[in-house]
């Protein structure tokens, strides 16, 4: 709070809030925590570990491909590395990093709430996510990791062609993981609808919140088709069912349709949080509001919506009827409209503002560059003949890495710098941060740009090696060099943050003069986030000094301080009128216990011990009963 002098009354209230929200100390406190900030940090460190693993897998592949006919890893290992790299980066890094870490930490702070709508479910999401990550990585350590590529097409995924547990690790691991993503998405939707600070009507929500809402809605409607697909796959592999098997009336396209019906919205699930981060960083460092605010909000939701109607453009080379292809090509072109609206809005906000090119804004600049380049090659794919000529070549790999690494990960990296002072209370090292940007920027360009060329020269994706004299050697070598430069840049970011955590200068609550509410509280925020539930009259509440002074006055008066228990206000969905004061659950051991139960169920399913899986399900039910015996009002 921007309060200089506290009256004794206000001090007493803050003292009481501290007492009510004080966490349990030590490891037990982390195991039982339901605090969205702690869960966000758990997510952050876990996903960072998976990012490291996925990065090492990528470097191993790039080393293998540095020259022709190398034998650093064999073909079987290469298949596992390639599949695990894709699965890890998508399901165990980007989604949990953006929703689990950034979303968890920031959504309640930005909307002026004290926690998520379902704090225990939030904790459960984390434990299930952790369990699913360990589950699928056990496969890698046993050298039995998924080896069929991240979309694992049938018939390759059938028992006859892939008899080991590799594909079962993939299918069960991803079902396991999608429980966590669904729970997180549900939690965000309800939190955003119901827990906004009074006064924050829907049109006053920050654009980051619009992006998180769009992501959550996409997850809710996209994941079921993946789940169904994977359930069919396991029923076919373990139960002898026939879904994809033509000889018994099944259909191989069924797998592809359902996979991409999930898989394309998934692409927007990956980049939408990046849009949200960009729309947080740009106004702060340009010192003005986003231009075309309502259009940008609409575009974020529209991208998510259109994402559901374009899946067959991943199947242009499969022999679907031409009329189908044309319809999907047209739909794919449509994505250009909301994307372009956003690109112009981002750029012109910087141009019309007074930009200060500090590291977070540099990363957003890199993001815009790669988003435009990757978007342009994306439009090329919407042209059916071009797609059919380049399908399954490195051109595709180049395109989606510009989008997934350049456009989705750059804002994550910029966001790490941007919110680092908020989370730690210390400033990062600016010079080192700027160097790290240029390293990652050139590393990314050097790694992925030549892939366009080798792709056009005919190099197919997923090959573990290639012959010399095809004209591919120099490009591949430069890609490998680029990937190591990129890795150095990432390591420099990591080193900067670790160093700054201990040696950085104190940042104060609001070092960058941000416009959203997370900057209205101290750094790091207290357990209860805000000493008084903030007043909101615009989408940039922290730029309304009168409202912040009003907060200070209300803290003295005790209006909406809610220091009696774990309390936070709930509002009406559209207008954000105060509706009731909710009693929120405190720390609970049950989420981690239920998470263990779910892990046990999936382990038994993997081992085909179906009776033991049912026993584990029964035990999990008992744990759920324990969970619901703990009612917040009775504590």
The residue (of 67 and 309) whose beta carbon lies closer to another protein is 309
> Distance (Å, rounded) from C-alpha 271 to C-alpha 273?
6
Peptide bond into 155 cis (omega under 30): yes
The residue (of 376 and 625) whose beta carbon lies closer to another protein is 625
Which residues contact residue 560 at a Cβ distance below 8 angstroms, ignoring those fewer than 6 apart?
Answer: 198, 532, 533, 554, 569
Question: Beta partners for 106?
Answer: none
> Distance (Å, rounded) from C-alpha 97 to C-alpha 90?
10
Question: Beta partners for 393?
Answer: 460
The contact set with another protein (CB under 8 A) reads 117-118, 121, 182, 185-187, 189-190, 193-195, 220-221, 223-225, 227-228, 231-232, 235-236, 239-243, 245, 248-251, 254, 257-258, 261, 570-573, 577, 579-580, 582-583, 621, 625, 628, 631-634
The residue (of 108 and 415) whose beta carbon lies closer to another protein is 108
Closest separation in Å from C-beta 232 to another protein:
7
Phi/psi at 460 (5° precision) = -85, 155
Q: Report long-range pairs for 461-464 (Cβ below 8 Å, ≥24 apart).
A: 461/392, 461/393, 461/394, 461/396, 461/397, 462/79, 462/82, 462/149, 462/392, 464/64, 464/65, 464/73, 464/74, 464/75, 464/78, 464/79
The residue (of 78 and 126) whose beta carbon lies closer to another protein is 126
The residue (of 253 and 442) whose beta carbon lies closer to another protein is 253
Task: Give the helix/strand (H/E) hosting 570.
Answer: strand 567-571
The residue (of 222 and 531) whose beta carbon lies closer to another protein is 222
> Distance (Å, rounded) from C-alpha 542 to C-alpha 535?
10
Structure tokens at 540: 């940039």
Distance between first and last Cα of the chain:
29
Closest separation in Å from C-beta 250 to another protein:
4
The residue (of 113 and 485) whose beta carbon lies closer to another protein is 113
Quick check: 281 and 361 in contact, CB under 8 A? yes
CA distances from 405 to 25, 85, 100, 211, 401 (A): 38, 13, 18, 18, 5
Closest separation in Å from C-beta 313 to another protein:
19
The residue (of 26 and 240) whose beta carbon lies closer to another protein is 240
| Ordered DSSP codes for 165-187 | SHHHHHHHHHHHHHHHHHHHHHH
Closest separation in Å from C-beta 370 to another protein:
32
Question: Beta partners for 324?
Answer: none
The residue (of 117 and 396) whose beta carbon lies closer to another protein is 117
Closest separation in Å from C-beta 392 to another protein:
25
The residue (of 130 and 582) whose beta carbon lies closer to another protein is 582
Structure tokens at 427: 């400033």
Closest separation in Å from C-beta 228 to another protein:
4
Closest separation in Å from C-beta 617 to another protein:
11
Closest separation in Å from C-beta 112 to another protein:
16
Closest separation in Å from C-beta 60 to another protein:
36
Closest separation in Å from C-beta 182 to another protein:
6
Task: To the nearest 10°, report the CA torsion of 56, 57, 62, 65.
Answer: 140
Q: Exposure of 574 by Cβ count < 10 A (0-12 exposed, 13-18 middle, 19+ buried)? A: exposed
Render the burial of 129-157: b for 16+ CB within 10 Å, e for the rest: bbbbbebbbbbbeeebbbbbbbebebeeb
The residue (of 67 and 626) whose beta carbon lies closer to another protein is 626
Quick check: 253 and 314 in contact, CB under 8 A? no
The residue (of 223 and 497) whose beta carbon lies closer to another protein is 223
Closest separation in Å from C-beta 634 to another protein:
7
Q: What radius of gyration do the chain's Cα atoms show?
A: 25
Closest separation in Å from C-beta 259 to another protein:
12
The residue (of 245 and 550) whose beta carbon lies closer to another protein is 245
Closest separation in Å from C-beta 471 to another protein:
43
Q: Exposure of 385 by Cβ count < 10 A (0-12 exposed, 13-18 middle, 19+ buried)? A: exposed
């Amino acid at each position: 709070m921007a309060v200089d002098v506290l009256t004794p009354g206000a001090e007493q209230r803050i003292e009481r809030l501290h007492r009510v929200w004080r966490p349990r100390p030590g490891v037990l406190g982390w195991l039982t925590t339901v605090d969205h900030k702690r869960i966000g940090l758990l997510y952050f460190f876990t996903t960072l570990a998976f990012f490291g693993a996925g990065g090492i897998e990528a470097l191993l592949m790039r080393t293998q491909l540095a020259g022709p006919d190398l034998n650093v890893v064999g073909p079987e290992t290469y298949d596992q590395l390639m599949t695990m790299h894709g699965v890890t980066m998508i399901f165990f890094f980007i989604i949990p990093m953006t929703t689990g870490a950034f979303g968890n930490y920031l959504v309640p702070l930005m909307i002026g709430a004290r926690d998520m709508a379902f704090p225990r479910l939030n904790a459960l999401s984390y434990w299930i996510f952790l369990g699913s990550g360990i589950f699928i990585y056990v496969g890698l350590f046993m050298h039995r990791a998924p080896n069929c590529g991240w979309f694992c097409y049938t018939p390759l995924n059938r028992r006859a062609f892939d008899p080991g547990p590799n594909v079962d690790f993939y299918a069960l691991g991803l079902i396991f993981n999608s429980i966590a993503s669904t729970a997180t998405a549900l939690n965000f939707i309800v939190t955003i609808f119901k827990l906004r600070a009074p006064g924050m009507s829907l049109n006053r929500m920050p654009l980051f919140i619009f992006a998180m809402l769009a992501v959550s809605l996409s997850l809710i409607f996209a994941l079921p088709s993946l789940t169904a697909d994977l359930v069919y796959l396991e029923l076919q592999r373990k139960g002898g069912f026939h879904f994809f098997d033509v000889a018994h009336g099944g259909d191989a396209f069924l797998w592809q349709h359902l996979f991409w019906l999930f898989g394309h919205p998934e692409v927007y699930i990956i980049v939408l949080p990046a849009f949200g981060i960009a729309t947080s960083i740009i106004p702060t460092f340009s010192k003005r509001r986003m231009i075309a605010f309502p259009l940008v909000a609409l575009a974020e939701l529209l991208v998510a919506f259109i994402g559901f109607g374009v899946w067959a453009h991943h199947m242009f080379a499969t022999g679907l009827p031409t009329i189908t292809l044309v319809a999907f090509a047209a739909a794919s072109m449509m994505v250009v409209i909301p994307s372009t609206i956003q690109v112009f809005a981002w750029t012109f906000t910087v141009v019309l503002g007074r930009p200060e090119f500090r590291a977070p804004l540099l990363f957003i600049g890199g993001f815009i560059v790669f988003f435009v380049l990757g978007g342009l090659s994306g439009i090329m794919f919407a042209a059916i003949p071009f797609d059919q000529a380049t399908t399954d070549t490195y051109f595709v790999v180049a395109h989606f890495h510009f989008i997934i690494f350049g456009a989705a990960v750059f804002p994550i990296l910029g966001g790490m710098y941007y919110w680092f002072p908020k989370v730690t209370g210390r400033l990062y090292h600016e010079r080192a941060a700027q160097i790290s940007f240029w390293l990652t920027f050139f590393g990314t360009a050097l790694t992925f740009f030549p892939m366009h060329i080798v792709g056009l020269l005919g190099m197919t994706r997923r090959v573990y090696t290639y012959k010399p004299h095809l004209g591919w050697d120099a490009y591949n070598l430069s890609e490998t060099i680029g990937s190591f430069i990129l890795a150095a840049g990432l390591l420099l970011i990591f080193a900067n943050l670790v160093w700054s955590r201990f040696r950085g200068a104190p940042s104060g609550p609001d070092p960058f003069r941000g416009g959203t509410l997370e900057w209205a509280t101290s750094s790091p925020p207290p357990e209860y986030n805000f000493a008084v539930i903030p007043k909101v009259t615009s989408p940039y509440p922290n730029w309304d000094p009168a409202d912040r002074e009003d907060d200070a006055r209300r803290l003295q008066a005790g209006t909406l301080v809610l220091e009696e228990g774990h309390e936070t206000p709930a509002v009406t969905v559209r207008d954000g009128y105060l509706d009731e004061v909710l009693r929120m659950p405190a720390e609970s051991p049950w989420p981690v216990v239920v998470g263990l139960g779910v892990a046990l169920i999936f382990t038994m399913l993997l081992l085909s011990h179906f009776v033991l899986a049912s026993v584990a399900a029964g035990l999990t039910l008992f744990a759920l009963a324990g969970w619901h015996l703990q009612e917040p009002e009775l504590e």
